[in-house]
A and B are shown apart, each in its own frame.
Chain A
Amino acid sequence: MNRRVVVTGLGICAPNGVGLTNFYESMLNGSSGITFHQELADLGFGCQIAGKPEIREGLKESYFTSLQLRGLNSSGIVYGVMAGSDAWKDAGLEKADKDLPDWDSGIIFGTGILGIDKLRESIHLIDNNNARRLGSNSVMQTMASGISAYLGGILGCGNQVTTNSSACATGTEGVIMGMERIRAGKAERMLVGSCNDSGPYIWGGFDAMRILPSNYNDNPQEASRPMSSSASGFVPGSGAGAMVLESLSSALERGAKIYAEVLGGAINSGGQRGVGSMTAPNSQAVQKCILEALMDAGVDKSEVDVINGHLTATSKDVEEIRNWSEALGRTGVDFPIINATKGLVGHCLAASGSVECVAALLQYREGLVFGNRNCQDLHPEILALVDASRIPLKTISHTPGIMAKASFGFGDVNACVIFNDYKVK
């Protein structure tokens, strides 16, 4: 059994836009979601800027019951439930009946660490010999699978409901896992996505590794500079992205709108061998992942039209471009059009893959390729491989054909998914 899989719903909770409409506007116009955070300055962080979704007053109430909101102190759950519920609704799907789960619908919703603020609150109570005051909700807000569990209960999904975790590859990995489950005939619909908490307890470790930019605290919107010669580290982010994947037959039967087809994908690891390490990707594995994704999709290297890169705004961007170029055997004006969503939202960590997939997929709906922010000064080693015309600075009118989206994560793990404009054939 090898069934076609399409995307029928999108949901987003991003630093530069909560909800599809706001997010689309920001992506279209190149509006950044990176802001200065006084809290980080007060704590003595080097990097005092970050990407954090702005949840307006009263919005949470439309996603959570008053009981769920009570003691809710897990930003990842808030972002994930909002994005996941929106994607479900966008796909035209209803919540399951009160007494009957929807056996054909499942959830793979990833995260890195969940509910870190709730965890901190709980640790303080426990350290004060007051564990009995934790109440009933500290476990579900801090278990990694809390996000899929919340969504599963809200939507009533009766198929596989789980949480994957592969650092910054999490979101893209989830799309491939969901696609595989539908392809195999084990589910008709899979809500896939990922979320990442915000705040100093998430971002502090990265600040300590000195891999975040510290020179843009007065100029936050210019800080995230993928592919730029002045890139000085990734800007930490947070949020959630979500997609409803569906068998083509189910989508057609429901008369659902189709954003794009998921043609295939691949997941692998560089094994932290060769140049690969806990924090650096093994280029051989990256190229292998890209090629395996194309093979899985039944697509030739020459057919790739658009790339949404992992491109974090570190020195590794050059290496990533070289990997795409070598894997596809394409350079100069022949290189696909490429963009980096992180220039506008920062690095949303475990949520990055899903947030960026949502951005990439919106391009099909609109017949556009979003522009790249903050890379007027392209890195010379990138320019040596790719003609500048392939890296649009402003949004251009161009309906993507075959599109590759890759994400790479700590632990030397890689994921690459291949989308295509949906054509009835």
Chain B
Amino acid sequence: MSLIQKLLGASAALALSAGAALAEPALIYDLGGKFDKSFNEAAFNGAERWAKETGGTYREIELQSEAQREQALRRFAEAGANPVVTTGFAIASAMEEVAKDYPDTKFVNIDGWLPEIPANVQLIAFQEHQGSYLVGMMAAMATKTNTVGFIGGMGVPLIRHFGCGFAQGAKAVNADINIVANMTGTTPTAWNDPVKGSELAKAQISQGADVIYAAAGGTGVGVLQTAADEGILSIGVDSNQNHLHSGKVLTSMLKRVDVAVYNAMTAGEGLETGGMTVLGLADDGVGVAMDEHNAALVTAEMTAAVEAARAQIIAGDLNVVSYYENDSCPAIQF
């Protein structure tokens, strides 16, 4: 305990504010690492925005090993951090265990799923298939070769969920479109392997793809780079990645992890827990990135089609099939 007290003392002294009595929130990044330009970085941006606006401070850790998941959760809870926000589905199970022992601490997990959600845990899910559907439509409208590509991180349900929405959107525009899909790998490095991403992009280009959607965390950086080098279009994911190669990234499928983190930290100890929040198009939880970097690439026709589909999905007139419904996809085989 003495160490924790010492450290708490040190951090309180650093903060130089009466706010030390208030609980600090904590943020735990998944194994992909904080600066992946994508998923975890979105969480970081949300936390930074909260810190800037409120002047508060937060604790954070980038996980390095599986055993650390439970350890980090416990240590933060013991140190009085509240709420403890985590990214990535892999930590949900450890969170379920730890939450029992710290009933006064609020826990938040993004992407996770639990059969029974403890009273002090909030799960946040995104309807990635809806956003992916929209970028799939744009890809199908932008392609000149009638071939679009999808590069996922790993063949896990979450990524198939992205790919499935993308394929449905592309096929909605053109039922005969050719979709090339690849997964980066089977090891955890698949989420952070830009070189492999680049190779896969080249392979897909040789198969005719001229718009490639990357849903692979840090690996996507390599996909976007190669697409820009080879003069084809790419689609970013999670964060707005349009600026990475201005004028060469068609759009990005936004997954507003930053908003989720920001909201959780703003709610602080008063956070509502005990359930699952699903953020979709209607809540602006997912969306399509439009800014000055891709303005030249997006035609008025695309904007109109995307807006129409978006309204239809929100109204419930258009049903994008979720891969989770029966672990399979009507538009593409994985």
Do A and B originate from a single complex? no
